Structure 1
Amino acid sequence: MEPQKINKGDRNKIYFLVIVITALIGTNAYLFFKDRQQSERFVTVSTEKDKLRLEVEKIEVELDKVEALNLDLNEKLIEEQKLAREKIDELKIALEKGAITQGELDKANSQINELKTFVKNYNDQIIQLQKDNIFLKNSRDSLENTLKNISSRASNLENENSNLSAKVKTAAALKLQNAEIIAFRTKSSGKKVEVTKSSTAEKLSVRFNIIPNELAEKGHHNIYLRVFDPAGNLLANEGNRFEADGQEMQYSHSIYINYNNDDSTYVIDWTNPKPFIKGIYTVILYADGNTLGKAQVDLR
């Protein structure tokens, strides 16, 4: 059987079909690879956005750490932190956009790199500020300790001086060497006669000597007398007051003596405003706020 011959027209149809099929295959291949590239591009962009978001969050955490330190920042550092947080907010908004171009990603990446550099420099300044604060605190504590030590030493010196002054004052105080009391009356002639009876006594005469003391102040000293009757009553006027041994007292009589650190004998005469009674009269003497000593006389 002889093979069927294909005419020229059928051959042309076959060629045409081959070309159409080839074109379709090529178109499908183009669309497939194009769709694949777009899908890969979307994945790449999303991944880049996530990386940038993470970098922004890291930067924000670094700033939060600084804020948590509660440092006393100067105006420059406060303003720099404010600007950095504003830029972070802008980047967050930009990265939340549904669609973002490669150019926008590149710009965001560049801004994040700038923020990283800023945060590094900012942290360096904060570290230096912390060091300065620690140095100032140590200096302040050292100064406070020094002042406390000085104050303590000054207080100790003051106490020592006070104690020394008290000792000097005590050492310089006048003290009786001896004292005696006699009762007497005055005759019409003016002569004083010693008596021993209360019925004839008019005055008491106190004779005393003071122990020589190189530390005692020479010159005038006010001597106060307090006279007690046999019943223990103080014989004194209400208005006669002085201070001795840390308290206010009433006195019966006072005179000035001129002390010269010698064996001088001093005499004080005291007139009883009341009639004398039988018993022992006690006289206590004071000088310069201290007790000199006392003496007694027994009247019959």
Structure 2
Amino acid sequence: MTKISKASVNKFLKYSPIVLLISLVVYSFKTHESQNRLDEEFRKEKLILQQELDQIVADYKKMSVKKKGLSRRIITSINKMISLKDSIKDIKKGNYDKLVKYSLKVTQLERENRQLMLKADKLHQENTKLEEENNSVRKKLRAHKKSQESLVKMNESLMNEEKQLKEKIGVAANLEIGNVAISTYREKSNGRYTSTTKSRKTDAFKVKFDLLENELAEMGERDIFIQILDKNNDVILSEKNQGDNGSEMAYNDYIRVNYENQKLGIVSLISVDRNNIEKGDYKVRVYIDGAKAGERKISLR
């Protein structure tokens, strides 16, 4: 073992304070430099966290979500991030534990942010799809409405045509008669009738006409009324003035026939009291089912 001399020890003790001082100065410098770097990293980390929160808030504010539940969650998240940003800003230099704690919170918020973004994006896609479907339905409805309006107009046109056609058919279906022939007769003592034109000898009016053929007319029973009118347009008295068919029309003869769209001859002999027959003109009117069908005039001396 090497033996240290007393002189060497004295020499070391002489210079050791200087060495110690230099060592302390170097250590302090290195520690100060390390602390400055640490403080700078601390400041940078705070700034990064604040910028990240600013970006997340900006992303949230760009989101347009109409769903109430999701909108409330976004507003709540924005408020939490603003509060967290303020808390990070207030962290004192060197409080590394808090910085780490808030860094973890920012990481968690970023994760929530991504989830909300995905959900909002999904809702946006669904809304876009619904809008496209809605637009398609609206187009179909407009087309259907136009088609319906067109059908309504067409229906109205067809109804008008049908009405006009019915009116034409109605007119064409009216039953018509041929010329009305009128003769006057006197009755002999043997019951036979001979022609006359003298009023004081007239015992009967003979009315003759044809129901004309009409394929459009309705088949079935028809009521025929015959009137003989004097110069005052009053129905003259005759044996058949009192009908029993329930009609309020005054008449001299009433005949019911079965019409089958074919020509049908009608003859009516109307007995009158010659004492009520005066000189002048007499008119014979024929009605079928209450509608006037023909008229003819005869003059008596």
- The TM tier, using the shorter chain, reads 0.5 to 0.7
CA distance in 1, matches of 2:184, 2:26: 161
Shift in Å at residue 168 of structure 1? Answer: 4.0
Q: 1:130 to 1:199 in 2, by over 3 A?
A: farther
8 Å CA contact 2:197–2:300 kept in 1: the answer is yes
Match of 1:178, SS state, is coil
CA distance in 1, matches of 2:153, 2:117: 53
CA distance in 1, matches of 2:218, 2:137: 54
Shift in Å at residue 48 of structure 1? Answer: 0.7
Is 1:96–2:82 an aligned residue pair? yes
Query: What is the match of residue 119 of structure 2?
Result: 118
Match of 1:264, SS state, is strand
Query: What is the match of residue 77 of structure 1?
Result: none
The C-alpha deviation readout for 1:50-93, integer Å capped at 9, x for no partner, is 1000111122x2x24xxxxxxxxxxxxxxxx3442243133112
Query: What is the match of residue 225 of structure 2?
Result: 224
The C-alpha deviation readout for 1:135-161, integer Å capped at 9, x for no partner, is 434444444555555555555555545
CA distance in 1, matches of 2:118, 2:137: 29
Q: 1:188 to 1:224 in 2, by over 3 A?
A: same
Match of 2:179, SS state, is strand
Is 1:44–2:48 an aligned residue pair? yes
Q: Could you state the TM-score of these two structures normalised by the residue count of structure 1?
A: 0.67
Shift in Å at residue 200 of structure 1? Answer: 5.9
RMSD after superposition: 4.1
CA distance in 2, matches of 1:232, 1:16: 160
Q: How does 1:134-153 map to 2 (within 5 A)?
A: 134-148=135-149, 153=154
Q: Match of 1:256, as an amino acid?
A: R
Q: Could you state the TM-score of these two structures normalised by the residue count of structure 2?
A: 0.67
Paired residue for 1:35, among 22, 33, 39? 39
Q: Match of 2:87, as an amino acid?
A: A
Q: More displaced, 160-169 or 104-113?
A: 160-169
CA distance in 1, matches of 2:115, 2:160: 66
Query: What is the match of residue 254 of structure 2?
Result: 254
The C-alpha deviation readout for 1:210-260, integer Å capped at 9, x for no partner, is 3344554555321134554423457799x9987xxxxxx945353213446
Q: 1:232 to 1:117 in 2, by over 3 A?
A: same
8 Å CA contact 1:227–1:283 kept in 2: the answer is yes
Q: 1:32 to 1:217 in 2, by over 3 A?
A: closer
CA distance in 2, matches of 1:288, 1:26: 133
**Which 5+ residue runs of structure 1 have no aligned equivalent?**
1-6, 65-80, 243-248
Shift in Å at residue 290 of structure 1? Answer: 4.5
Match of 1:267, SS state, is strand
The C-alpha deviation readout for 1:97-140, integer Å capped at 9, x for no partner, is 12251112112212222222222322222233233333434444
8 Å CA contact 2:210–2:263 kept in 1: the answer is no
8 Å CA contact 1:184–1:194 kept in 2: the answer is yes
Query: What is the match of residue 75 of structure 1?
Result: none
Paired residue for 2:57, among 35, 46, 53? 53
Q: How does 1:154-233 map to 2 (within 5 A)?
A: 155-184=156-185, 190-192=191-193, 196=197, 204-216=205-217, 220-232=221-233
Query: What is the match of residue 92 of structure 2?
Result: none
CA distance in 2, matches of 1:33, 1:268: 142
Match of 2:175, SS state, is coil
**How many residue pairs are counted as aligned between the two chains?**
268
Q: 1:171 to 1:34 in 2, by over 3 A?
A: same
CA distance in 1, matches of 2:278, 2:225: 23
Rg comparison, structure with higher value: 2
The C-alpha deviation readout for 1:273-293, integer Å capped at 9, x for no partner, is x94555433333222464422
Query: What is the match of residue 284 of structure 2?
Result: 283
Q: More displaced, 91-100 or 104-113?
A: 91-100
8 Å CA contact 2:204–2:269 kept in 1: the answer is no
Match of 1:96, SS state, is helix
Match of 2:180, SS state, is strand
Task: Tell me the percent identity.
Answer: 20
